[in-house]
Structure 1
Amino acid sequence: MSQRNESRSARTRACSFALAVTFGLLGAASAMAETAADAPKAIDKAASTLESLKELDGKAPARRSLNIQSWSTAEGARVLFVEAHELPMFDMRLLFAAGSSQDGANPGIALVTNAMLNEGVKGKNVSAIAEGFEGLGADFGNGSYRDMAIASLRSLSAADKREPALKLFAEVVGKPTFPADSLARIKNQLLASFEYQMQNPGKLAGDELFKRLYGDHPYAHPSMGTAKSIAPLTLAQLKAFHAKAYAAGNAVIALAGDLTRAEAEAVATQVSAALPKGPALAQTVAPTEPKPSETHIEFPSKQTHLMLAELGITRGDPEYAALSLGNSILGGGGFGSRLMTEVREKRGLTYGVSSGFTPMQAQGPFMISLQTRAELSENTLKLVKDITRDFLANGPTQKELDDAKRELAGSFPLATASNAAIVGQLGAVGFYNLPLTYLEDFMTQSQSVTVEQIKTVMNKHLDADKLVIVTAGPTVPQKPLPPPTDKPAEQPLGVPEH
């Protein structure tokens, strides 16, 4: 296709892909914003339902109760559906056990396969596909991660829009043609992004951390692959991976929106029938616990990246609610967390520090990450370890726990505030085989957690002496840390590097 005839939508998509792979965020599922015509109505509706903070004080925020319906298609795909008629549209997300943990001997093949889905179907190139969705007011999204690959659709629910959008979506996900010119372009974009990443100490440290943490486990290699693994990928390999990993038996279909049960069943049936036939792939094996280690990557910079990690939990861990609250108090809750208070607020050592569990199909990482001035890096690392060790030894205070519970109760309604949010929750429930009551169970468990329970479960899963640590920055003479104070003499650097 000539440059002159190339559509604006196709150019926009190509630019978006280039930016996405550059920053390692390929194909994150997109969300369709309200149209300009709907905005005034939305504002008026919101204004009419606002309540004062005084009225809300002491009350538990309202939560949306989800009636989750579930069934399986004839081809073996699991379906989860929530009926919601407030808006004349629906959201659908397909989740496949087709992330980079399934790459095998070809790191990056999962990501490239997912990126190629909407590059071509029979009779349509990438431009025609983009124009097809846009012309119907529909939105297509895709993405590839360690556990899973996704493809999503947002469409108006009226039959004259829904049916052609579904037909195109089913072709894109189930019968992509994998054009050779698209593969060459995507490879070039990835290879360019690898060159960029060589100048990003945070990315270098992150990749090294996963190698040290996971060894020869499927989670160890970068989800994007490497220049060495991407270059030789062939169309035949991509087609074979698609036939195996995008099979209906390996899929979860999450649906939410303006559909009846009968219409949802028809949608799921149509999509499932368009996918390759095949069973679910084997789940990712459990990793082996790594030995504690410290690795430094020399990199010219004014700051040093610090990453501390150990194996965390699986997505279905029954102690996730308590661990989530404990982590929120330690470093996952932003301002007010132990790490943020001690490292940033009292000493001005960093712009931001955070901790977090990333529960996955196999044990995902628990990680603490921050950047600090290079000449303070060694003592900042020691401080972070000491704070973590103290938290594990003594646990949170009752006030910290009460504050964390209150914040969770206030923010949790956002988990089901839109069809897109609901679909995200349904996808996780289906993919990780969680109970249909998972969201309510999580809130009930969280609100009943005690200080002693948090101390117990955090010590069960974490040990400050077993951390895998990777740092990236320059080797420079070190300086002592400033003493803690309410007003640090030196404020944190304004913008993190890279």
Structure 2
Amino acid sequence: MKTEQRRLGLLGLILSSALALGACASLSAPTLSGDAAKLQSLAELDGQAPTRRTLEIQTWTTPQGAKVLFAPAHELPMFDLRLTFAAGSSQDGGVPGLATLTNAMLNEGVPGKDVGAIAAGFEGLGAEFGNGAYRDMAVASLRSLSAREQRDPALALFAEVLGKPTFPEDSLARIKNQLLAGFEFQKQNPGKLASLKLFERLYGQHPYAHPSDGTAQSIPAISRQQLQAFHARAYAAGNTVIALVGDLSRSEAEAIANQVSAALPQGPALPRIAQPQAPKPGASHIEFPSNQTHLLIAQLGIDRRDPDYAALYLGNQILGGSGFGTRLMTEVREKRGLTYGVYSGFSAMQARGPFMINLQTRAELSQGTLALVKQLLADYLREGPTQQELDNAKRQLAGSFPLSTASNADIVGQLASMGFYDLPLSYLDDFMRDVQALSIEEVKTAMAKHLDPEALVVVSAGPTVAQKELPPPTDRPAELPSTVPH
């Protein structure tokens, strides 16, 4: 269905929805500097962060109303183009799965070409088409050589796919069957069942509540006419962000953006999604015959433009967002052997996305493990991080941050995220500056402001069995549980 995984870079979206679904950015100077173009030895860094690629981001609006972000990159004779539409499942309008089906059908047919001819057209040009739909957004992308003999026909086909999809009935039936088969498969996946239930609990009647792929009840009734109407409304030029990176001049980038924008339906941006209401806290359990119990512990987090984003990102890295060495991983896995992995994250979206802690553990220890995780969260919100934890997290982030612009695909994902969430062009530099300046108290204050250990929504999926006491913490925990439910 989704022929390209969303690549929004390190900071496009935390945890993705949603991801989500999700997840999901100064930039000044067009190319890699001489030093940055060379491989670096870690020994040469001497404790400093690796050199990060410096970009020159330019922005404008097409005559049809599409917002464009462009970064020239002349190292390779190719370009990456990504269109991001406010056309995710939050725009389904009471027809769950409408956005997903529309996006999946884009490359199934255009006038005079069926899905096979479209695929052969891109392949014959050495070009790559990608698409996907999520809660906030739908995307379509093109990667092509920048030489005109490949670029022009690839762009012409891409513009047809986005602007003139025919939504053939035979393809619609096939993709519906694929979705319905997926729903049957989900019934055997306790983690997926728990995730679906969690979003229902967190969001109630909000557009984020229903699954992006729709439901077994909604998908069969969706018609070709509904897809056409959704495309005309949600794939309009004014509802689009165009991100473009590669071996192009400014005039070539403008011509590409204008060509694609003119091919789209003409219309304005759709209204922003309203903020959700806080859900009722408490626990829900899904009975499932397995040895493992999946635990999802969540509450509403923040939207993507929240001023506390940097502080929450850093605070979560210490709590459970960066793998080994986090508080949750140390206490739950390393000292007690209760799980192979426990992770936390904010999924910041157009409206308030979820903050979530997720893990799976042995069924007979699930209640004790849940109590332990909730206590660790409460302790962290009360105490805040230590200076060593803060310094280590800053150092780790500084070391990994250059990966967010390591390739043209990474950069186009960053630009798409910046444009879609209305972030400033200086976002990447601003973020690193803000993170490195944070104090213990600022991180503690931000985490405590946005998280409440008494407001948690908990969903578990597993068997109801007699519970055992947790083992005490030790340097040599017992055998870790299997990651595969039995």
Structure 1 and Structure 2 fold alike (TM over 0.5): yes
The separation in 1 between residues aligned to 2:261 and 2:444, in whole angstroms, is 45
Q: Give the superposition deviation at 1:491.
A: 2.0
The separation in 1 between residues aligned to 2:102 and 2:406, in whole angstroms, is 32
Candidates 266, 272, 279, aligned match of 1:290: 279
Candidates 126, 139, 145, aligned match of 2:128: 139
Flag the 1:51–1:438 CA change in 2: closer, same or farther, 3 A.
closer
1:114 is aligned to 2:87: no
What amino acid sits opposite 1:155 in the alignment? S
Q: How do 1:1-400 and structure 2 match up within 5 A?
A: 49-400=38-389
Please name the residue that 1:11 is paired with: none
**Alignment check: 8 A CA contact 2:295 2:461 kept:** yes
What amino acid sits opposite 1:493 in the alignment? P
Candidates 378, 388, 394, aligned match of 1:405: 394
Q: Give the superposition deviation at 1:53.
A: 2.8
Q: Give the superposition deviation at 1:149.
A: 0.1
RMSD between aligned residues = 2.0
1:495 is aligned to 2:476: no
**Alignment check: 8 A CA contact 2:78 2:246 kept:** yes
The separation in 2 between residues aligned to 1:407 and 1:340, in whole angstroms, is 16
**Alignment check: 8 A CA contact 1:331 1:340 kept:** yes
Q: Give the superposition deviation at 1:54.
A: 2.4
The separation in 2 between residues aligned to 1:132 and 1:224, in whole angstroms, is 28
Structure 1 unaligned runs (5+)?
A: 1-13, 18-23, 30-44
Normalised to the residue count of structure 1, the TM-score between the two structures is 0.90
More contact order relative to length (CA 8 Å, sep ≥ 6):
2
What amino acid sits opposite 2:371 in the alignment? K
**Alignment check: 8 A CA contact 1:26 1:143 kept:** no
What amino acid sits opposite 1:496 in the alignment? V
**Alignment check: 8 A CA contact 1:375 1:476 kept:** yes
**Alignment check: 8 A CA contact 1:254 1:427 kept:** yes
Please name the residue that 2:420 is paired with: 431
**Alignment check: 8 A CA contact 1:304 1:372 kept:** yes
What amino acid sits opposite 2:126 in the alignment? G
Flag the 1:319–1:422 CA change in 2: closer, same or farther, 3 A.
same
The separation in 2 between residues aligned to 1:219 and 1:105, in whole angstroms, is 11
Per-residue displacement from partner, 1:466-486 (whole Å, max 9, x unpaired)? 100000100000000011011
The separation in 2 between residues aligned to 1:431 and 1:444, in whole angstroms, is 22
The separation in 1 between residues aligned to 2:22 and 2:75, in whole angstroms, is 26
Please name the residue that 1:469 is paired with: 458
The separation in 2 between residues aligned to 1:410 and 1:331, in whole angstroms, is 18
The DSSP-based 3-state class of the residue aligned with 1:301 is: coil
Per-residue displacement from partner, 1:202-252 (whole Å, max 9, x unpaired)? 111101100110110000000111010001000000000000000000000
Q: Give the superposition deviation at 1:200.
A: 0.8
Please name the residue that 1:6 is paired with: none
**Alignment check: 8 A CA contact 2:360 2:483 kept:** no
Flag the 1:142–1:399 CA change in 2: closer, same or farther, 3 A.
same
Q: Give the superposition deviation at 1:349.
A: 0.3
Flag the 1:250–1:129 CA change in 2: closer, same or farther, 3 A.
same
The DSSP-based 3-state class of the residue aligned with 2:118 is: helix
The separation in 1 between residues aligned to 2:41 and 2:53, in whole angstroms, is 20
The DSSP-based 3-state class of the residue aligned with 1:231 is: helix
The separation in 2 between residues aligned to 1:230 and 1:259, in whole angstroms, is 42
Flag the 1:416–1:51 CA change in 2: closer, same or farther, 3 A.
closer
Task: Give the ranges of 4+ consecutive aligned residues of structure 1 lying more than 3 Å apart after TM superposition.
Answer: 14-17, 24-29, 48-52
The separation in 2 between residues aligned to 1:495 and 1:316, in whole angstroms, is 35
Flag the 1:15–1:203 CA change in 2: closer, same or farther, 3 A.
closer
Flag the 1:178–1:25 CA change in 2: closer, same or farther, 3 A.
farther
Flag the 1:414–1:482 CA change in 2: closer, same or farther, 3 A.
same
**Alignment check: 8 A CA contact 1:313 1:360 kept:** yes
The separation in 1 between residues aligned to 2:40 and 2:252, in whole angstroms, is 37
**Alignment check: 8 A CA contact 2:2 2:131 kept:** no
What amino acid sits opposite 2:480 in the alignment? P
Normalised to the residue count of structure 2, the TM-score between the two structures is 0.93
**Alignment check: 8 A CA contact 1:27 1:142 kept:** no
Per-residue displacement from partner, 1:378-434 (whole Å, max 9, x unpaired)? 000000000000000000000000000000000000111111101000001100011
Per-residue displacement from partner, 1:145-186 (whole Å, max 9, x unpaired)? 000000000000000000000000000011101000000000
Q: Give the superposition deviation at 1:51.
A: 3.9
What amino acid sits opposite 1:258 in the alignment? D
**Alignment check: 8 A CA contact 2:21 2:212 kept:** no
The DSSP-based 3-state class of the residue aligned with 1:434 is: coil
The DSSP-based 3-state class of the residue aligned with 1:477 is: coil
Aligned residues: 463
Structure 2 unaligned runs (5+)?
A: 5-17, 24-33
The separation in 1 between residues aligned to 2:303 and 2:56, in whole angstroms, is 26
The DSSP-based 3-state class of the residue aligned with 2:217 is: helix
